Amino acid sequence: MALAVSASRSFHPDASRGEFERWQEATRAFVSDAIFNGPLPEAVPLSPVFLEKQTREGYELTELQFHDRPGHTTHCWLAKPLHPRAEKIPALIALHGHGGSALMTFDPDKMYFYGDLFAKAGYIVLAVDIDHKYLEGIRPWISYQPLPKKVKFPATGQKVWMVRRAIDFLETDPQVDRSKIGVLGLSNGGFTTMFVAAVDPRVSLAISSGSLIISDRMWHSNLVHCRCQYIYKLDQALDYYDLFALVAPRPLLVQSGEQDPIFPIASAREAFSHIAKAYAIEGASDKLELDIHNGKHEFRGEAPLKFAGKYFPLDK
């Protein structure tokens, strides 16, 4: 039985491959307009500045910052293996969630530990600070207040733009395999991963943890989510599974916890069934995985490491 189409611009589950790819092209432009509230920001010269260096287990960690748009700076931490296993290395952009930081992704004892996990495995990892304090024109919006509508530059768009400029930065690094740049994150990091991979085809692998849900379940129910994630132009026009459908046919791992209180597993399973249909249309079902663990709102490393190893092998 065909899956229902719940939003006005959702892809049709019975679309041909050609129809689906035309939908992707048009929808990618629509999403870009929604998250940036118009044209793309101006991409000024990056002019990176390298700051503090630390030596960790198996990798060197460097603090850096670069210009992403006029008058705004992106702050990051870059991990590179001390003993690289190849001349060109796959790179992963690690995105933290609320209450986290780029540096926290390199702390094995924190919930956003995956920067350290993948750096120790031998990948180049660039963690980007996407906390509220790095954004313009917002305040903490975790409340029952009305959803924001008239927003000059949506917070999600600001985060996506910083990550897209982070990809620009990685492409200037001669040690990075430009054909293998991925994005991953938990919670708001997974949510931002979804949008970055949706609008930027340079993302050749995405791992999104603790962020899959049906849009109505997230915003039109008793769940409380940060209003920084709400984009009024997308409400009732697209669902979150449509964003993941824009990633097809590129490798995508979605991870959910059975006990996650803010991204309920039933909603995650429902959303994934739609994503699976999109990948089937593209003939890429083998590149899509759903990892369900028995925990709550947390990142589990085993499946993501295996998934990255399959598509981003380090020995080639």
Quick one: which H or E segment has residue 255? strand 252-257
Task: Kindly state whether residue 12 falls inside one of the protein's structural domains.
Answer: no
Which domain covers residue 226, as residue numbers?
Answer: 17-311
Task: Kindly state whether residue 264 falls inside one of the protein's structural domains.
Answer: yes
Phi, psi (rounded to 5 degrees) for 287: -95, 5
Q: Is 205 helix (H, G, I), strand (E, B) or coil?
A: strand
pTM here?
0.95
Structural domain count, the chain: 1
Task: Kindly state whether residue 2 falls inside one of the protein's structural domains.
Answer: no
Cα–Cα dist 138/152, whole Å: 10
Q: Looking at residue 51, which CATH number applies to its domain?
A: 3.40.50.1820
Task: Kindly state whether residue 220 falls inside one of the protein's structural domains.
Answer: yes
Quick one: which H or E segment has residue 183? strand 176-186
Cα–Cα dist 190/208, whole Å: 4
Task: Kindly state whether residue 70 falls inside one of the protein's structural domains.
Answer: yes
- For 10-22, the pLDDT digits (tens) are 999 999 999 999 9
In this prediction, residues 29-52 reach a mean pLDDT of: 96
Evaluate whether 135 touches 159 at the Cβ level (below 8 Å): yes
Cα–Cα dist 72/135, whole Å: 9
Task: Kindly state whether residue 305 falls inside one of the protein's structural domains.
Answer: yes
Structure tokens at 110: 């924190």
- For 231-286, the pLDDT digits (tens) are 889 988 999 999 999 999 999 999 999 999 988 899 999 999 999 999 999 999 99
Task: Kindly state whether residue 61 falls inside one of the protein's structural domains.
Answer: yes
